[in-house]
Structure 1
Amino acid sequence: MNTIRLWMDPRTNVGKVDRVIRFTVASALIAVPLLYNGVDAEYAALTSLFAIPLMFTAISRWCPAYAFLHVQSIRHKYENSRFYSRNISKADAVFRYLLGSVLILATMAYTSIADPWLVILALLAIPVIHTAILLWDPVYAAFEISTFERRMVTTGNTVNITDFTSNGKSGPPKPAATGGKRAA
């Protein structure tokens, strides 16, 4: 069997811890120049440009530098399966859409005022709406919080709970051990 080594490996190569670090560093690169008034505009733009690839690689779970060097920070094959599954419910997503809209409208309502806090409000709207679109929040994932609903299907006298947030098998519960006797 011939195996072909790809020039750029297309598989996921950014692990859970690496992803959280990338989100944290990118957020700091964006927030620090905005919060301090003595920072030059060129420095703020440069740090924001460094933050863009970090955010992209954290969201996509794929780093082109890792792929080129055939390196990955995933320890085992299914490390990211639970971490990257949906963790936001529809109600939570609607709330995030509304919150993002309010942040954008608040920024637009006060455009005559040159205030750096309005820029921060506009920048906060981006991840809020982005998490609503993806139905995935990195903070929820890091702390293993999930508001995503589970559907219960009743069939006869058994209950089948389908968990959409895991890759595990779902199905009716196994019968309890009765010591070799059939239950009446």
Structure 2
Amino acid sequence: MYKDKELTIRPAKKEDLRSLWELIYSDESPEWKKWDAPYYEHKRISWDDYLLRDNVIDQEDDWVIEAHGKVIGKVNYYWEHKLSNWLEMGIGILDPHYWSGGFGTRALKLWTNHLFNTLPLVRVGFTTWSGNVRMIAVGEKLGMTMEARLRKCRYYNGVYYDSIRMGLLREEWESNMFYK
């Protein structure tokens, strides 16, 4: 568990499942999906199906973000190529009431610290799309470099967007003021 004032990231507990389902799957078209890879289909699923499908409890790669004692989102990671320690991370502030208030930046800072402190990584990064300007801004605030821009490869609502890949090396993070 990591804390920054009223914000916490931590492994999910059984008691979090209802909140996660409500944020992610209870709505056919949740507001967060307009920003988190909206070019991929999202389907509503029932509470019972969610319990059968998603087991986020005690997952080292998938944690919850909590603010003021309420689950507001998730951070996660996946291995792009584990043999070379190439890891990509993600974040979703799923409750729109917590957008544009610094919660994403703070949560991703905590998550980045966790990843560098617990895994033998030389780099962390994420991929987003050019339509998600808030996510790009979070990467910039954390000292990330735009490592790749694949032009016009994401199609959403009749418009082509770029795919953006941002990354940060361990030595850059450790020299960054956010690391402290």
Fold match by TM threshold 0.5: no
Q: Which has the higher strand share?
A: 2
Q: Give TM-score scaled by structure 2 length.
A: 0.23
Q: Give TM-score scaled by structure 1 length.
A: 0.23
Bigger Rg, structure 1 or 2 = 1
